[in-house]
A and B are shown apart, each in its own frame.
Chain A
């Protein structure tokens, strides 16, 4: 009778079982090592074979197995499944282009002087602590047009109201760093005067002095790199970050800010680059390093709920315009000359969510939204 094979796992004695299994594992790893060495030797002489092997064996990762999202902005819509079946690829592209060119950030691209940095107001949540103030110091150094103000306590200092005042004074952004347990944990970025509000969770904050071998920042306007913003929502977020920096960078400063989006996490890095030769560049990291994750985007600036305000009386507007249009226009000209009134931005009474992260939306591990 030929010897029957039994599995090592049937050995009840633990020490003996471990011994046998270690022997088997060693044999296997040795065999694998020999195989790899032989392959490396063969490919050292034949680079074509190596290329062929690499081309055939592309590993599947979450990034390249990503779930299809119809809002991914592609240069060639006809290649992917079209949601709107009967319209042509050109019509879809025109529509997407029109949508982007008329979104709230469009005015940034049509400014007269691209070297004026957009004004950013940076503040914290009420009663912030030292770590948050240090982080805000770093933020003021990142954005060329940034200013820091302490946040006051009370009913009249809600985020929506502050956004209204900032909008009236010509600020383009309001950035509120929220604190929890003595550490900054979130950033709310509001585009003014009535643009979207985005809320990001802030993690992995490392300040400049904590980075070993960091470079020194200069006040030059940085260049901007935005990676991985693929979907329509991603475009919205990417453009929002783009509008915080001046449109025309100063190349003499050799500073670059990178916002790299991978798997819905946005990594912020700031580097200084130097050309060591015509082909080689070296990077030295400046400045803080942090990670953001988008939680929600609201359509307008933050709402202010004032439930206790006294009710206004019912009024009916009088309809004068139709009767005397000529007189009206004359009056209007006089009025505008007399009072160059500052526009008053009133915060809305309702928040409308453009997008909100919900765990039920992540149906698979390969679903990403930005």
Chain B
């Protein structure tokens, strides 16, 4: 049984519970609203959502960022009770939107499309933020992600090439010595890294007509399975998926055309090795092999663009603009590159929501229901008394006797 948390266009937070072994296919998924936003003239859509597991009590920390520049931190219990811990606003938002949000056990990081980076340190005891650090990143960002060890983050956008920064240095002000040096030189090289920037990607070489390739990154993801924060993958407006390795080179290691319509909307690395889920602005959701960029399978029956994908070990869940939240089965890529898979992934459940769901995330709690059921079954068998039968064949008598000895 997996639980996913998603936010929608009106500001509500809802929980989707998926039970793969339900009695009938209609009952395998259910949605419950844990937070309803009061209706107002303008929509306060939830633009980004992020979870983090707290060690005790199996509670989940849930951070949300809304279109009215307010961010909030809640705790969600296993019984789906939501309690707000603290609220704060990002005043630098203006007409832009949030492109990244990550919650860790001690801080919540947020980034907007005009480069306003904020790290809010909190503690569950107090109802306000204990410390706020601000950083400035370039404008026109489209996606921002924090690496799994929280030491680096990466961003990309419109004519903003993929960049990896050091998480601590980003919040320190630019030293004045550098500023005076820059004013001394006549022309500052456009290639110089910002203070705090560790690595910046280089654009692809000019195409066959010697034309510059435009840089239009729409989404990016760290690849968790391969190394810590070194492997990244980006999706572009030209339907390309590019894979980068910060240790190897500044140019992309691989460049594949994966999407079909309108550019890549969102990417999410799968928990199996070499797996990547890609959705484009048309109605396509694909699973891609990271070794050769081939589409392994796609999920049929989706009528709107897929806005967000959440990955858990057994299933993935997706939200799309046609007001459905779907869960899908995953087939991991084959061991040998290029072999065709026998079965394809399928849509295992789809539930209708009244407003457009915008972002979805897995709550991080691994399902343990199956194991508990097995233990119960063993107990039942152990309690049943053995009955002796003289008519049984010799084969069954010997193991039976052994069992009886153990029982007594």
Contacts and interface: CB of A to CB of B under 8 A. Distances in A.
A98 B31 CA distance: 18
Interface stretch (A23-31, A57-65, A111-119, A345-353): A345-353
A12 B114 CA distance: 86
Interface string A328-357: 000000000000000000000111111110
B257 interface: no
A87 B237 contact: no
A353 B12 CA distance: 22
B323 interface: yes
A11 B353 CA distance: 63
A315 B138 contact: yes
A257 to B, nearest CB: 29
Contacts of A97: 39
Given A91-B36, A98-B10, A311-B215, A349 B303 contact: no
B26 A95 contact: no
Interface string B27-41: 000111100100101
A317 B136 contact: yes
Contacts of A4: none
A316 B136 contact: yes
B322 A355 contact: yes
B218 A86 contact: no
Contacts of A309: 214
Interface in B48-92: 91-92
B216 A349 contact: yes
Contact of B281 (A316, A351, A369): A351
Contacts of B305: 352-354
A102 to B, nearest CB: 5
A81 B158 CA distance: 44
B179 to A, nearest CB: 13
Contacts of A350: 218, 237, 262-263, 281
A4 B367 CA distance: 71
Contact of A87 (B33, B304, B321): B33
Interface string B315-337: 00000011100000000000000
Contacts of A318: 136
Interface string A153-182: 000000000000000000000000000000
Contacts of B134: 319
A353 B139 contact: no
A94 B12 CA distance: 12
A94 to B, nearest CB: 8
Nearest to B283: A356
Contacts of A299: 321
A9 to B, nearest CB: 45
Given A312-B140, A315-B138, A350-B263, A95 B304 contact: no
Interface in B349-374: 351-355
Contact of B214 (A81, A92, A311): A311
A314 interface: yes
Nearest to A320: B92
Q: Is the interface of A mostly helix, strand, loop or mixed?
A: loop
B91 to A, nearest CB: 6
B43 to A, nearest CB: 5
A313 B215 CA distance: 12
Contacts of B398: none
B229 interface: no
Nearest to A73: B354
A321 B69 CA distance: 15
Interface string A93-131: 011111101100000000000000000000000000000
A315 B141 CA distance: 11
A102 B42 CA distance: 6
Contacts of B265: 352
Nearest to B161: A314
Contacts of B263: 350
Contacts of B283: 353, 356, 358
Contacts of A91: 33, 36
**A71, A85, A317: residue with the most chain B Cβ atoms closer than 10 Å:** A317
Contacts of B1: none
Nearest to B136: A316
B190 interface: yes
Contacts of A369: 303
Given A317-B136, A351-B261, A358-B303, 17 more contacts: A85-B32, A87-B33, A95-B354, A97-B39, A99-B355, A311-B214, A314-B159, A315-B138, A316-B115, A319-B92, A322-B91, A349-B216, A355-B304, A356-B282, A356-B304, A361-B303, A369-B303
20 contacts: A71-B352, A84-B14, A84-B353, A85-B31, A86-B30, A95-B36, A309-B214, A311-B215, A312-B158, A313-B190, A315-B138, A315-B139, A316-B136, A317-B114, A317-B115, A319-B92, A351-B262, A355-B304, A355-B321, A361-B301
In the complex, the 3 A-B pairs of residues with the closest C-beta atoms, listed nearest first: A70-B352, A98-B39, A95-B354
